[in-house]
Chains A and B, each alone.
Chain A
C-alpha cells in the first residue's frame, strides 16, 4: 500500500467508502506527519489535534450511516488568514497573535458542513501580503491531501509551482471572501491547493456558493459540476501561448518545459495559437499599486482598539502608533506606506488611476484572446536568479498578476523539474467562470505527466 499521506482526495474518498481505512486512522496518519515534520518546516501555525480527532469521529459516524459527502472525513489544512471559528486565526501577524474569531469563513463553513477534518492552520505571510508559496508545504509534506489558500497576486499558483502541486485561483466572486482577512479586496480569492486538477475541481464544488455575506460573490449560479470535464481529454480545445511570457524575463529551463508541455497538449489533441498580450510587462506594477492601496485601507482597522495587539501611549494617537509599530512587520509597513502614497491627493491620478486604466486594458486584451482561445498557457514563476530579478526590476508576480487583474480563473500544475530537482509549474488561465475547461486541460496533462497519482491501490 502507498503512503496514504501522499494520495489524492479522490483516492482517499474511495478508501473511506470501501472501509479500507477509517476517518480516524486517516486523521491520525496526517496528524502524525504534521506533528513530526511541521516544526522543522515552519509550515503550520497551529495543529488542531483534538478538534481533528473529534471531527474524524463524527465523520466516521456519518460515513457509517451512508450519509457521507465527497469531503466527509478528508483532512484539510486552512491558511491562517482564513477565519476558523474557535481556532486561533492570527493571519501571520503579531497584531492578531492569539486571535480567536467567533465565526468561520463561509468557505470553511461549507467544508464543515461537508464533514471535513481540520488538521491545522498553515503559516502565511502577514495578512497574505507577501504572496509566498508557503501554503504548498503542508500538502507536499503530507499534512493533509489539500489545503485552502488565498490568492491575490498569485500565492496559490506559486505554491503549486514551487511544491509540485496543483493550485486553482477561481474566478473572482466564485468563492465568498467572507472570513478571509482582507489584503487586496478586489483580488483576494480563496482556492484549493491539492495534488491534482481533479481534486481542485472536487474542492471547488464544495466551496463555491453565492454568499449573502459577500456582495461581490456570485458562487455557482448554474449549479455546475466542476469535475464534469475531468478525464475527457483536450481534443479540439484552443490553447493560446502569449509570446510576452516566453522572453528574457523567464529562465530557459522554465521556458522550455512549459513549451514542451504545450507540445504534449497538442499531441493530446489541443490546438495551439500564438498570441500577444502587450500589457503583460505592466501587470505586476499595476497589481502592486492597486493591491497596496487596498491593503493600506484594509489593514487600517488593526488599531488595537477593539481587538488585537494594543500598544502603549498617553493618547489615542500615541497608542495607535505603538500598536501598529509593534503589530506589523516592516514589509507590511512598507506596503501600507506605499498604498497611502498612491492614494494621497497629489499622487492618486498618477498612480492609482493609471493602474486602474492598465487593469482594464489587460482585461480587454484577455477578453479579445478568449474570443478564439479556450485557455491561455503561461509559466507561473520566472525563476530567474536573484541578480537577474534585481537587474530587470521584476516583481515576483510577473507571471501571475494578469489573471488577478482580470479576475479570471487560473490553474497551475507541474510540468517539469529543474536540474536541481525542484518542480516547474505552468499556468492555464480561463474565461470568466470557466474553471471547468482549464481544469480539464490540467487534468489531461497530469494523467500523462504523473500517472501514479491516478492509480488507486486496492
Chain B
C-alpha cells in the first residue's frame, strides 16, 4: 500500500561573482583561458603568500542580499574549511561559517515564498580533468580562487517545478543586479539539492543531497528521479541513508557518492590572515541604492505602462540581456508593442536558430529600433523588415544604408501612384469590367499588379485607396 508522500526540498545555489579579479589575489576571473594561465603564487598556495580580500566581492554579495531581502551583517568574517583535494592548493577553502554576509532573506516565486537562510562568500576550487589518461589526472587552477557566493534556502520547496522556477528567478535576479552572469553552461551558477520525502505533517524524512547540478533541466530530472527512488524505497520498506549523491545526465539517475557517516570534519576555524570587514549603515545603504530594477518591476512596467501581454512580458524579462536590448531599442523608437513584436518574433527566432547570440549581436539595439520604426511608420513595407534584418545579420550595415541600397524606401510621389494605377486599369480591361460589375475578388489581382510596379515606392494603403477611387471612376 502506498501513502501520499510529500517531497521537501532545500537548495544551495553557487553563483560565481562578476568581479574582474579573483577573490583573494589579482588574477583574472574571466571564464576559461589556457589551463593554468590565470594563476599566481597566491592562488597556487606557494609558501608565504597571503590572501587579500577583493572588496568588489563584498559589494556584490551585499547586492545579492539586497535583492533577496536579507539582513546584512555589519561585521562579516572569514573561516577556513580544511580538507585535502588536488583541486584545492591551500588544502583549505576560505569560506564564511560564523558570520555570513547575508542572512534571513526571502524570495517570492508566484505564490511560493522561499526563505533564504544565508548567503555567504567563498572561493571556488580548480578543475580536475580525469579523461586524458588512465594513469593521471590533470589540474587546471584557472577557476581556483574565483569569487563564489552560496545561497542557502530553507526547505520551503515541494516539487521539481517549484525548484526550477525558484532557480530561474534567482538567476534572473542575479543577472539583473550584475552580480552573476547566470551562465549555467559555464558553471557560473550551480545547484545542490537537498531532498527528503515524508507523509504530510510527519517529521522530515531521511535526506539526500544531490551535488553540482548545472542546468535547470538536470535539476528537474534529478529531483524527479529522487522522488521516484525515495518513494520506491519507502513503499518497499527499504531503509534510506543520509548521503551525498551525484546525478548522471546520460541515464537520468542519481548515484551515491559518500554517506554522511563518513562525512569530513572540516575543522573550521577563523582565518587569521583576513581581518573581518566592518560595514557602516551608509556603506550598506549605498550598495542597496546601486541595485538596479529587478525583473518583476520591469514586468509590471511592461504589462502596465507598455500594454504588452503577460506572456510576452515574461519572455522579455526572463532574460536580462533581452530585456536590456528591448529597452535600448525603445530609446530609438518609442513603440513598445511594435518593438516587442519584432523582438519576440524575428530576433528570438534567429537567436534560437543559433544564427546570432544575445551576448554578441552584430548590430546595435538602436539600429534594430530604427528598423522597426521604418516598418511601422511606412518608411518601408513591413514585409521588408525581415529582409533588412537578415542583411544586417549577414553583411552588417545600418538599416538606412541597406534600405537605400535595396530601394526599399517608399516614395512619397503620389503622381507616380496615379499614373501606375491608370496604366493597370488601362492594361486590364476585363478584370476592371468584372470588378465594376460587382465581382469584388478581382480587386486583389489589380492590387497585385499595381503593387508589383510600385514595389518600395508606395504603401499598400495608398495604392489601395488610389485604385479604389479610380475604379469607382
> Quick check: B272 and A301 within 8 Å, CB to CB?
no
How many of chain B's residues have a CB under 8 angstroms from any CB in A? 30
What 1/0 mask marks residues of chain B from 229 to 268 whose CB sits below 8 Å from any chain A CB? 0000000000000000000000000000000000001011
Q: Which of A82, A99, A297, A340 contacts B92 (CB 8 A)?
A: A297
Q: Which of A181, A297, A348 contacts B47 (CB 8 A)?
A: A181
| A-contacting 9-mer, from B82-90, B157-165, B168-176, B219-227 | B82-90
> Quick check: A185 and B91 within 8 Å, CB to CB?
no
Interface of A is mostly: loop
| A-contacting 9-mer, from B49-57, B423-431, B445-453 | B49-57
> Quick check: A103 and B267 within 8 Å, CB to CB?
no
Contact residues of B between 13 and 69, Cβ < 8 Å to A: 41, 44-53
Interface of B is mostly: loop
- Residues in chain B near residue A316, CB distance under 8 A: 85-86, 137
**Any chain A CB within 8 A of the CB of B275?**
yes
- Residues in chain A near residue B53, CB distance under 8 A: 215
Q: Which of A212, A215, A348 contacts B275 (CB 8 A)?
A: A215
- Residues in chain B near residue A105, CB distance under 8 A: 48
> Quick check: A300 and B50 within 8 Å, CB to CB?
no
> Quick check: A182 and B80 within 8 Å, CB to CB?
no
**Any chain A CB within 8 A of the CB of B454?**
no
Query: Which B residue's beta carbon lies closest to that of A103?
Result: B41
> Quick check: B90 and A91 within 8 Å, CB to CB?
no
- Residues in chain B near residue A215, CB distance under 8 A: 50-53, 273-275
- Residues in chain A near residue B363, CB distance under 8 A: none
Query: Which B residue's beta carbon lies closest to that of A180?
Result: B48
Range for the number of chain A residues in contact with chain B = 35 or more
> Quick check: A303 and B86 within 8 Å, CB to CB?
yes
| A344 vs B50: C-alpha distance when bound (angstroms) | 24
> Quick check: A340 and B84 within 8 Å, CB to CB?
no
- Residues in chain A near residue B86, CB distance under 8 A: 303, 305, 316
Known contacts: A186-B272, A303-B91. The answer to whether A344 contacts B265 by CB under 8 A is yes
> Quick check: A96 and B50 within 8 Å, CB to CB?
no
**Any chain B CB within 8 A of the CB of A232?**
no
CB distance from A337 to the nearest CB of B (A): 12
Query: Which B residue's beta carbon lies closest to that of A89?
Result: B47
CB distance from B147 to the nearest CB of A (A): 16
> Quick check: B52 and A213 within 8 Å, CB to CB?
yes
- Residues in chain A near residue B90, CB distance under 8 A: 300-301
> Quick check: A343 and B82 within 8 Å, CB to CB?
yes
Known contacts: A102-B41, A305-B86. The answer to whether A182 contacts B46 by CB under 8 A is no
Known contacts: A300-B91, A343-B82. The answer to whether A214 contacts B50 by CB under 8 A is yes
- Residues in chain A near residue B84, CB distance under 8 A: 300, 303, 320
> Quick check: B50 and A178 within 8 Å, CB to CB?
yes
| A91 vs B47: C-alpha distance when bound (angstroms) | 9
> Quick check: A305 and B139 within 8 Å, CB to CB?
yes
> Quick check: A213 and B267 within 8 Å, CB to CB?
no
| A343 vs B270: C-alpha distance when bound (angstroms) | 11
- Residues in chain A near residue B82, CB distance under 8 A: 296-297, 300, 343
CB distance from A304 to the nearest CB of B (A): 10
> Quick check: A101 and B47 within 8 Å, CB to CB?
yes
- Residues in chain B near residue A306, CB distance under 8 A: 44-46, 89
CB distance from B41 to the nearest CB of A (A): 6
Known contacts: A215-B274, A305-B86, A306-B89. The answer to whether A101 contacts B46 by CB under 8 A is yes
- Residues in chain B near residue A214, CB distance under 8 A: 50, 52
**Any chain B CB within 8 A of the CB of A143?**
no
**Any chain B CB within 8 A of the CB of A352?**
yes
| A180 vs B273: C-alpha distance when bound (angstroms) | 13
| A215 vs B49: C-alpha distance when bound (angstroms) | 11
**Any chain B CB within 8 A of the CB of A177?**
yes
> Quick check: A83 and B47 within 8 Å, CB to CB?
yes
User: Top 5 A-B pairs ranked by shortest CB distance?
Assistant: A300-B91, A343-B267, A186-B272, A181-B47, A185-B272
Binding site for B on A (CB under 8 A): 82-83, 89, 91, 96, 99, 101-103, 105, 177-182, 185-186, 212-216, 293-294, 296-297, 300-301, 303, 305-307, 316, 320, 340, 343-345, 348, 352
Q: 27 pairs across A/B with beta carbons < 8 Å? A: A82-B48, A83-B47, A101-B47, A105-B48, A178-B48, A179-B48, A212-B52, A214-B52, A215-B50, A215-B51, A216-B275, A293-B269, A297-B91, A300-B82, A300-B84, A301-B45, A301-B90, A301-B91, A303-B84, A303-B86, A305-B139, A316-B86, A316-B137, A320-B84, A344-B267, A345-B267, A348-B267
Kindly list 5 other residue pairs between chains A and B, CB separation below 8 angstroms, not including A215-B273, A216-B273, A320-B84. Answer: A103-B49, A182-B50, A297-B82, A297-B267, A303-B91
